[in-house]
Amino acid sequence: MKTIDQMLAEGAAGKRVFVRADLNVPLDGTTITDDGRIRAVQPTVARLAEAGARVVVASHLGRPKGAPDPAFSLAPAAARLGELLGTDVAFASDTVGESARGVVDALADGQVAVLENLRFNPGETAKDDAERGAFADALAGLADLYVGDGFGAVHRKHASVYDLPARLPHAAGLLIATEVGVLKKLTEDVRRPYAVVLGGSKVSDKLGVIDHLLEKADRILVGGGMVFTFLKAQGHEVGSSLLQEDQIPVVQEYLKRAEALGVEFVLPVDVRVAERFPDLKTKAPSDPETVAADAMPAGRMGLDIGPRTSELYAAKLADAGTVFWNGPMGVFEHPDYAEGTAAVAQALIDSPAFTVVGGGDSAAAVRILGFDENAFGHISTGGGASLEYLEGKTLPGLAALED
């Protein structure tokens, strides 16, 4: 995989460089609530601009279903990128149309432009190779070189991620190089004990990574909504908690395999419960209580791990050599159910281990709960991509960057 430094050594001044970034940031109207992904790609864009390239940045945002939708415009992200770069960033109101061509043609050496949301064009996500290829051809007409730096999208076989690199000389950006280097530390020559913390809402989202990590991890700690399928699989009452009944046999098999392989599977000993899901907009108090994990009341909903579990999980991470964490321990957006996620974050900070926060909601929780990002070994920009890499899958966007 060619690096951006190799591309620059061959000469990029005056050339149009298409940077496939991941600017898929959360928005409250037009206000960005977490600019982590924009900050993550800024070094690559700055490096190219400083080298005299004419930088064309492109990304998706949300799921606009192949047609323009103002709610998913990248205009706020383009403005924020300009603030981070300390320079004006041009913005094209389409992807490959008149505005895009005009904006790109007007770029001078060292200037930057952002195209409108790639998913406003149905060719970006098309299953049909020809339709996707036609959109990639149009994008290729806007550039001379390609830099892949949208790690959060490399597990997607999309036109700008998979097809476009085949049409242009290509290289990996600084972010992707960093992300791949970190993931190799989680799969090759791992410092032990290797602990994995998995949370989030659905156990089905994590089945592949659990299956793969049973052969690699020393400990797997489970929290979040997915944990109630594990507790149910052990025969416990889970009340009205999130539950995937159809996954119980799979979970039971994983628990048996873990025992046979000597992998420590750690589940909560207590949970925070309430009568109903809390109001995340008003953050109104929801009258939670803490109960034993094996004695949940039938009419209550589990919404976070409890304090004894937080202490248990911190102890299990204290002597780890490597920790990978993906998924919050509870409904961290509400103060009544943020303690478990905060406790895990603090345990990672306190641990001497090489710690990786695996993107998605975990990365958002770290920032929302006010933790210093530099206190962790690495915070990934791609939750889904990280998980699929750890499952051993071939990621289309990485394969496309190979020479």
Query: 43 pLDDT band (50/70/90 cuts)?
Result: very high
Alpha-carbon distance of 21 to 324, in angstroms, equals: 24
Burial of 98 (0-12, 13-18, 19+ CB in 10 A): exposed
Q: Which of 152, 382, 384, 397 is catalytic?
A: 384
Strand partners, 274: 301
pLDDT attached to residue 195: 97
Query: 171 pLDDT band (50/70/90 cuts)?
Result: very high
Alpha-carbon distance of 58 to 123, in angstroms, equals: 14
Number of neighbouring beta carbons within 10 Å of residue 121 = 26
Query: 338 pLDDT band (50/70/90 cuts)?
Result: very high
Q: Is 360 a catalytic residue?
A: yes
Q: Is 202 a catalytic residue?
A: yes
Q: Percent of the chain, pLDDT > 70?
A: 100
pLDDT attached to residue 391: 86
pLDDT attached to residue 191: 94
Q: Please choose, from the candidates 306, 304, 300, the residue with its C-alpha nearest in 3D space to the C-alpha of residue 274.
A: 300
Q: Which of 360, 382, 383, 397 is catalytic?
A: 360
Give residues with Cβ within 8 angstroms of 323, minimum separation 6: 194, 195, 196, 197, 317, 348, 351, 353, 354, 355, 356
Q: Is 370 a catalytic residue?
A: no
pLDDT attached to residue 208: 87
Taking residues 142-162, what's their average pLDDT? Answer: 97
Q: Which of 16, 20, 37, 156 is catalytic?
A: 37
Q: Indicate the residue type of 68.
A: P
Helix (H) or strand (E) holding 91: strand 89-91
Q: In what order do the strands lie in the sheet with 145-148?
A: 89-91, 112-114, 54-58, 16-20, 145-148, 170-172
pLDDT attached to residue 392: 87
Could you read off the pLDDT of 92-110 as tens digits, one per residue?
999 999 999 999 999 999 9
Q: Is 384 a catalytic residue?
A: yes
- What is each CA distance from 94 to 84, 101, 107, 212, 221, in whole angstroms? 23, 9, 16, 41, 45
pLDDT attached to residue 201: 87
pLDDT attached to residue 205: 84
Could you read off the pLDDT of 208-251 as tens digits, one per residue?
889 999 999 999 999 999 999 999 999 999 999 999 999 999 99
Q: For residue 3, give the DSSP letter.
A: B
pLDDT attached to residue 119: 98
pLDDT of 321 over the 80 cut: yes
pLDDT attached to residue 360: 75
Q: Which of 202, 216, 367, 393 is catalytic?
A: 202
CA gyration radius, the chain: 22
Taking residues 286-293, what's their average pLDDT? Answer: 95
Query: 361 pLDDT band (50/70/90 cuts)?
Result: confident
pLDDT of 359 over the 80 cut: no
Query: 192 pLDDT band (50/70/90 cuts)?
Result: very high
Alpha-carbon distance of 291 to 278, in angstroms, equals: 18
Taking residues 82-86, what's their average pLDDT? Answer: 98
Per DSSP bridges, beta strands 31-32 and 27-28 are antiparallel
Query: 202 pLDDT band (50/70/90 cuts)?
Result: confident
pLDDT of 403 over the 80 cut: no
Alpha-carbon distance of 151 to 124, in angstroms, equals: 16
Alpha-carbon distance of 35 to 287, in angstroms, equals: 33
Alpha-carbon distance of 133 to 151, in angstroms, equals: 21
Q: Please choose, from the candidates 184, 265, 251, the residue with its C-alpha nearest in 3D space to the C-alpha of residue 218.
A: 265
Q: Residue 324 phi/psi, 5° resolution? A: -115, 125
Q: Please choose, from the candidates 305, 378, 314, 326, the residue with its C-alpha nearest in 3D space to the C-alpha of residue 350.
A: 314
338, 358 Cβ separation under 8 angstroms: no
Mean pLDDT of the chain: 95
Taking residues 375-379, what's their average pLDDT? Answer: 94
pLDDT of 329 over the 90 cut: yes
pLDDT attached to residue 189: 82
Alpha-carbon distance of 135 to 159, in angstroms, equals: 7
- Prediction pTM value: 0.89
* Alpha helices (H) along 86-206: 98-105, 129-140, 174-187
pLDDT attached to residue 137: 98
Taking residues 147-153, what's their average pLDDT? Answer: 96
